[in-house]
């Protein structure tokens, strides 16, 4: 015991504990992954797995430097930097698989978690254990110096632990050389089993091709805001709106004409339109207005977009569960609400103050939620519609993708996505429905109608066959058509705060 606690005045026991910590991080996660998972179970790390394992080795080596050369800021900094870098890599790895179904993922599982999940645990443990050890460290710790030399003399156990760690690190170097190869090879995203047979070994650096052509910290999520009525954004989206229906990617079957236009006297630029229970419901950003048939405001509210589920500007308001409403944001988050029936609105703290900035004494929130999609994950929506069973939303093109057009539907009873499809249509040569910019939707007699601001067309889609069955053309003098109401013999929509009726 005297050897272990040698030189107690300079924290000999603390250095021994630091040596044990360095040994354990190399022996357990690194050693087990290399010796047992690698050689016995033939598990071969992917590129990110190697990065996490290397970060653990660096942490262990930096801790050994503390054991050998003393408590120096540069070594502490190195441990924190490597832990932070490893934590980022493990978070990056987790983010690729965290949204998958039960037990789906990558590689081996240990106690119900894939190995890359345990890497996150290891790096957090490094930070916490390091903090605990430093909290109880002797105050006189500093650079080591013994017998006139600028380092500590290692005791027997410390030497053994460093020796075993060196062997484990050497074994990892061997495994990396075999499975990954030398530069410019850097590993596989989906590696094959570890093997010593040259015919079964794959060395590649193909994953780096085009990897740094464009550096973007947001990646696929670097999507510009949609083009709202109250905030035009076509330039940043790289879109130039064409209001001639003849230029649409599909041929027009019937041209519509304007019957009437009525000005809606609201100062804000309106973004949505619907007719619910005999009232026109319109909105602008975070404000909702209820209008009578004469287009006069009879009620209104402003909701808080940041409470709980953040809701981007409103793109649709639909009837829900009888007399209730569902408000949809462009980020596919929603709020369910109803008109207040209480004589004591001051008692409606939950769902009044928390959800509404103004008008909360007239309305009551029934909670918020988020729609999750697969094909539409990296797209905004600008409209929503519903029948008795489903809520429908349609994607709009953005600065990253101007080819995709996806319609998603959610069961109204739980707002879980039940299906996604790209409608079939008789397209013109080299054209795509992704060119459309759907700013209004409606369901009428089993058909789904989609209004596109780009090319001024309305698509009639059969959701059962997922087929475009008819295309209506709008006059080109409508420069900002939004919202959609299907009448028995025509349509109503918004255009620059005008209620336009077409037949």
Q: Do 146 and 264 share a domain, yes or no?
A: no
Decide if pLDDT at 8 tops 50: no
Decide if pLDDT at 1 tops 60: no
Among 377, 355, 358, CA closest to 366: 355
Q: Do 175 and 286 share a domain, yes or no?
A: no
pLDDT at 5: 39
pLDDT band of residue 487 (cuts 50, 70, 90) is very high
pLDDT band of residue 362 (cuts 50, 70, 90) is confident
Decide if pLDDT at 463 tops 80: yes
Residue 221: inside a domain, yes or no?
Answer: no
Q: Do 335 and 190 share a domain, yes or no?
A: no
Decide if pLDDT at 9 tops 50: no
pLDDT at 344: 64
Spatial distance between the Cα atoms of 240 and 23, rounded to a whole number of angstroms? 61
Q: Do 280 and 145 share a domain, yes or no?
A: no
Decide if pLDDT at 191 tops 50: yes
Spatial distance between the Cα atoms of 495 and 503, rounded to a whole number of angstroms? 16
Residue 216: inside a domain, yes or no?
Answer: no
Residue range 30-36: average pLDDT?
96
pLDDT at 348: 57
pLDDT band of residue 190 (cuts 50, 70, 90) is confident
pLDDT band of residue 325 (cuts 50, 70, 90) is very high
Q: Do 188 and 239 share a domain, yes or no?
A: no
When divided into structural domains, the chain yields a total of 2
Question: At which of 162, 191, 208 does a domain end?
Answer: 208
Most confident of the following: 100-109, 144-153, 464-473: 464-473
Q: Do 199 and 249 share a domain, yes or no?
A: no
CATH number of domain containing 399: 2.40.128.630
Which residue range is the domain that position 444 belongs to? Answer: 234-502
Q: Do 149 and 293 share a domain, yes or no?
A: no
Spatial distance between the Cα atoms of 177 and 55, rounded to a whole number of angstroms? 17
Among 409, 336, 400, 424, CA closest to 372: 409
Residue range 22-34: average pLDDT?
96
Question: At which of 191, 208, 225 does a domain end?
Answer: 208
User: CB under 8 Å to 464, separation ≥6 — which residues?
Assistant: 446
Q: Angle at CA 69, nearest 5°, toward 64 and 72? A: 95
Residue 409: inside a domain, yes or no?
Answer: yes
pLDDT at 11: 72
DSSP element (H, E) containing 319: strand 314-320
Q: Do 173 and 238 share a domain, yes or no?
A: no
pLDDT band of residue 475 (cuts 50, 70, 90) is very high
Residue 311: inside a domain, yes or no?
Answer: yes
Residue range 47-64: average pLDDT?
95
pLDDT at 212: 66
User: CB under 8 Å to 445, separation ≥6 — which residues?
Assistant: none
- Of 15-29, 154-168, 346-360, 458-472, the poorest mean pLDDT is in 346-360
Q: What is the mean pLDDT of the chain?
A: 91
Residue 220: inside a domain, yes or no?
Answer: no
Q: Do 419 and 288 share a domain, yes or no?
A: yes
Q: Do 20 and 136 share a domain, yes or no?
A: yes
Q: Do 444 and 319 share a domain, yes or no?
A: yes
Pick 183 or 146 by higher pLDDT. 183
- Of 161-165, 186-190, 402-406, the poorest mean pLDDT is in 186-190
Residue 439: inside a domain, yes or no?
Answer: yes
Decide if pLDDT at 2 tops 50: no
Could you tell me if 249 and 397 are in contact, meaning their C-beta atoms sit under 8 angstroms apart? Answer: no
pLDDT at 4: 38
- What pLDDT digit, counting tens, does each position of 377-427 carry? 999 999 999 999 999 999 999 999 999 999 999 999 999 999 999 999 999
- What pLDDT digit, counting tens, does each position of 85-100 carry? 999 999 989 888 887 8
Q: Do 167 and 251 share a domain, yes or no?
A: no
Tokens representing residue 381 in the block: 């929506």
pLDDT at 398: 97
pLDDT band of residue 349 (cuts 50, 70, 90) is low
- What pLDDT digit, counting tens, does each position of 206-264 carry? 777 766 667 777 778 899 999 999 999 999 999 999 999 999 999 999 999 999 999 99
């Amino acid at each position: 015991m005297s050897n272990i606690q040698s030189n107690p005045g300079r924290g000999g026991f603390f250095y021994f504990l630091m040596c044990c910590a360095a040994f354990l991080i190399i022996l357990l996660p690194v050693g087990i992954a290399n010796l047992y998972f690698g050689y016995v179970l033939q598990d071969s790390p992917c590129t990110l797995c190697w990065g996490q394992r290397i970060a653990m080795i660096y942490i262990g080596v930096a801790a050994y430097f503390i054991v050998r050369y003393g408590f120096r800021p540069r070594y502490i900094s190195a441990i924190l930097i490597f832990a932070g870098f490893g934590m980022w890599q493990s978070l990056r790895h987790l983010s690729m698989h965290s949204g998958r179904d039960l037990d789906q993922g990558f590689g081996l599982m240990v106690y119900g978690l894939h190995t890359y999940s345990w890497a996150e645990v290891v790096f957090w443990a490094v930070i916490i254990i390091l903090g605990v050890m430093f909290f109880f460290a002797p105050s006189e710790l500093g650079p080591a110096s013994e017998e006139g030399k600028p380092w500590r003399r290692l005791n027997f156990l410390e030497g053994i632990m460093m020796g075993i760690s060196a062997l484990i690190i050497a074994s990892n170097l061997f495994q990396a050389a075999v499975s990954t190869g030398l530069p410019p090879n850097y590993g596989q995203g989906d590696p094959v089993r570890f093997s010593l047979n040259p015919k079964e070994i794959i060395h590649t650096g193909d994953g780096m091709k085009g990897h740094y052509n464009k550096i973007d910290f947001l990646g696929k999520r670097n999507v510009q805001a949609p083009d709202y009525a109250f905030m035009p954004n076509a330039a940043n989206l790289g879109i130039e709106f064409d209001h001639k229906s003849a230029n649409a990617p599909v041929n027009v079957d019937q041209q519509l004409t304007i019957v009437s236009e009525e000005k809606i006297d609201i100062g804000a630029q309106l973004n949505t339109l619907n007719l619910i229970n005999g009232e026109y419901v319109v909105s602008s950003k975070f404000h909702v207005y209820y209008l009578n048939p004469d287009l006069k405001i009879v009620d209104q509210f402003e909701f808080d977009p940041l409470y709980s589920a953040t809701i981007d500007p409103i793109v649709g308001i639909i009837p829900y569960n009888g007399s209730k409403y569902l408000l949809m944001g462009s980020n596919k988050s929603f709020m369910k609400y109803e008109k207040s029936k209480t004589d004591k609105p001051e008692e409606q703290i939950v769902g009044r103050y928390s959800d509404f900035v103004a008008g909360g004494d007239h309305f009551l929130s029934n909670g918020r939620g988020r729609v999750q999609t697969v094909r539409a994950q990296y797209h905004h929506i600008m409209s929503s519609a519903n029948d008795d069973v489903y809520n429908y939303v349609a994607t709009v093109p953005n600065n990253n993708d101007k080819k995709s057009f996806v319609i998603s539907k959610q069961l109204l009873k739980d707002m879980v996505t039940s299906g996604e499809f790209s409608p079939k249509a008789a397209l013109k040569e080299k054209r795509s429905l992704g060119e459309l910019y759907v700013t209004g939707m409606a369901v009428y007699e089993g058909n789904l109608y989609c209004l596109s601001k780009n090319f001024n067309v309305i698509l009639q889609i059969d959701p059962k066959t997922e087929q475009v069955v008819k295309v209506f053309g709008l006059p080109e003098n409508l420069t900002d058509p939004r919202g959609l109401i299907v009448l028995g013999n025509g349509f109503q929509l918004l255009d620059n705060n005008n209620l336009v009726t077409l037949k």
